[in-house]
Amino acid sequence: MIGNRPKIVVLGAGYAGMMTTKRLTQQFAPEEADITLVNKHNYHYQTTWLHEVAAGTIDVNRSRIMISDVINTRRVNFVHDTVVKINKEAKTVQLENGEISYDYLVIGLGFEKATFGIPGMEEHAFSIQSVDTSRMIRDHIEYQFARYRNQKNPDPSMLTIVVGGAGFTGIEFLGELAERIPLLCKKYDIPRQDVKIIDVEAMPTILPGFDEELLSYAKESLEYRGIEFKLGTMIKEVKADSVVVGEDEEEIKAGTIVWTGGVQANRIVGESGFELTKGKVNVDATLLAPGHDEVFILGDCAWVMNNETGKPYPPTAQIAIQEADVCAHNIKTMIYGGTLQEFKFDDKGTVASLGGSDAMGTVFDGNKLYGMQAKVMKNVIDDRYLFLLGGPMLVLKKGKFRPF
């Protein structure tokens, strides 16, 4: 503590970190607590929009928000630095450019790609993980078009894009590609049929866990716009310019390979000695790390058990945002006394964008939405987050209030 003030440190300015910081500033008066937020960029980005950045259907700047525009930096000590390690016993965080100590720590460092040991995946496949990695995918795809156009006898596989995984991120990315590729074809005078977009998924279905009708709708919509699916097909190996798939080890030559098939907690968490289960930390219902009554772990770094299903909640922004409320409340309770709150997910529904004005999903009590209706709802969900974070001005500046 500094004087009598507890020192609260939040690591990562993603959904979990930003909303926790926001809630902490609302719950504590300036003289009650020192709040520090550490992030490796001076901006916060909308991870849920990164597939659009990666496909090039929105500008990078649309997806990012300067932290100082939404967090009162006279109230919060914002440290623009990269976390290297957490020293749990000493209660310090090692940064690239220094060290900070804490009384209460909130870890919201997000995800990184999980490759499940598939040879070559780490080296040769892109992943939609941050603004930087997404921008690289966008530029790489366009570069392949430019190269193809400028070679005498171009290799047609230059224009093949293989996407690994047909979960939420994979499907949303394919939807954006279905919109973006015809524009690139026009720009570079390339016939659309010269471009192949192939999704490879180990499960026999896309979007495992989704309602059958919804996923059939999504698959048909994407197939209609030229996406090919290889379902029930494992990726065996990724090479610099090809992907080896299936029992017969078919080799698909491709100019762009993007892996969306798995995420795990930021490696800093495991490297700092927190015990991992399937790549994440099993926190208790109050979001505390096991054995550490001063460390909360939120968002994609944590598994929180859903007691009704006996399975952990999936990694979503919606959950990360709701966890932030419980975390801020519990830090206040630990300081002033009372009963810690347990996390209970209030499911407001899930909508997946399919590109352009198409989408599908469920809202509130399981109502199914398709097409433009679903897209409007998706935009409402995105705008609601912006409103929670930065009020109406942020919605006006960055919001998706138009359906397309």
Ligand X SMILES: Cc1cc2nc3c(=O)[nH]c(=O)nc-3n(C[C@H](O)[C@H](O)[C@H](O)COP(=O)(O)OP(=O)(O)OC[C@H]3O[C@@H](n4cnc5c(N)ncnc54)[C@H](O)[C@@H]3O)c2cc1C
Of the pair 252, 317, the CB lying nearest ligand X is at 317
48 binds ligand X (CB under 6 A): yes
Rg (CA), the chain: 22
Give start and end residues of each alpha helix (H) in 119-271.
121-124, 131-150, 168-187, 212-224, 267-271
User: Is 176 a known active-site residue?
Assistant: no
229 binds ligand X (CB under 6 A): no
299, 355, 356, 390: residue in contact with ligand X (rule CB under 6 A)? 299
The values of phi and psi at residue 32, to 5°, are -90, -30
Of the pair 316, 357, the CB lying nearest ligand X is at 316
Beta bridge partners of 353: 359
Contacts of 338 (CB under 8 A, 6+ apart): none
Q: How does strand 242-245 pair with strand 235-239?
A: antiparallel
56 binds ligand X (CB under 6 A): no
> DSSP string covering 218-239, please?
HHHHHHHTTEEEETT--EEEEE
Of the pair 51, 91, the CB lying nearest ligand X is at 51
107, 317, 377, 386: residue in contact with ligand X (rule CB under 6 A)? 317
Residue 66 structure tokens: 């300067």
Helix (H) or strand (E) segment spanning residue 99 = strand 98-101
The values of phi and psi at residue 242, to 5°, are -160, 165
168 binds ligand X (CB under 6 A): yes
Give the whole-angstrom CA distance, residue 65 versus residue 404.
21
Please pick, among 172, 179, 201, 323, the residue that the annotation labels catalytic. 172
The stretch among 14-22, 195-203, 206-214, 339-347 that binds ligand X (CB under 6 A) is 14-22
176 binds ligand X (CB under 6 A): no
12, 175, 390, 399: residue in contact with ligand X (rule CB under 6 A)? 12
> Taking CB under 6 A as the rule, which mask of x and - marks residues 319-358 in contact with ligand X?
-x--------------------------------------
CB of 202 to ligand X, least distance (A): 19
Give the whole-angstrom CA distance, residue 242 versus residue 247.
16
Of the pair 83, 200, the CB lying nearest ligand X is at 83
- Site size toward ligand X, by CB under 6 A: 34
Please return the burial class of 354, using the count of CB atoms within 10 Å of its CB with bins 0-12, 13-18 and 19+.
Answer: buried
Of the pair 15, 28, the CB lying nearest ligand X is at 15
Residue numbers at the binding site for ligand X (CB under 6 A): 12-17, 38-41, 44, 47-48, 50-51, 82-83, 108-111, 128, 168-169, 172, 266, 268, 299-300, 315-318, 320
Supply the residues annotated as catalytic: 172
